[in-house]
């Protein structure tokens, strides 16, 4: 009976401790959808995550070009990041991003889209 009470007490202590959920965040939405074809690019890129992240890298490339445009903003923790986009000519583009969550988890992704003529 003594062991049973010790076991119950231990179980009670363990289950009463606050547990921190470390669910990793993900990109919830973007104003430019992957695979989108549009007649004109928006003036800004808006990336919204489930939890606050810091953008560690944000690059824009045009297909067939070696030029990489670094759009990485000052690193601040936020759920939504808005970055000004340059004027884009018709073509195929890819945005590559890397974000870091407060727990140090690194997420990456890319958004390919087309500006139609």
pLDDT at position 24: 72
Spatial neighbors of 10 by CB under 8 A, at least 6 apart, are none
Q: Rounded to whole angstroms, how far apart are CA atoms 97 and 115?
A: 19
Task: Grade residue 19 by pLDDT with cuts at 50, 70 and 90.
Answer: very low
CATH fold label, 24-115: Immunoglobulin-like (2.60.40)
User: Any idea where the domains of the chain sit in the sequence?
Assistant: 24-115
Report residue 2's pLDDT band, with 50, 70 and 90 as the boundaries. low
pLDDT digits (tens, 9 = 90+) for 63-111: 999 899 999 988 899 999 999 999 999 999 999 999 999 999 999 999 9
């Amino acid at each position: 009976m003594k062991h049973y009470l010790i076991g119950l007490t231990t179980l009670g202590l363990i289950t009463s401790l606050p547990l921190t959920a470390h669910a990793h965040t993900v990109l919830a939405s973007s104003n430019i959808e992957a695979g989108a074809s549009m007649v004109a690019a928006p003036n800004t890129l808006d990336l919204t995550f489930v939890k606050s992240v810091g953008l560690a890298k944000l690059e824009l490339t045009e297909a067939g070009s070696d030029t990489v445009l670094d759009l990485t903003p000052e690193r601040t923790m936020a759920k939504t990041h808005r970055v000004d986009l340059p004027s884009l000519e018709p073509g195929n583009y890819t945005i590559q991003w890397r974000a870091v969550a407060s727990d140090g988890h690194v997420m990456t992704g890319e958004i390919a889209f087309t500006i139609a003529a």
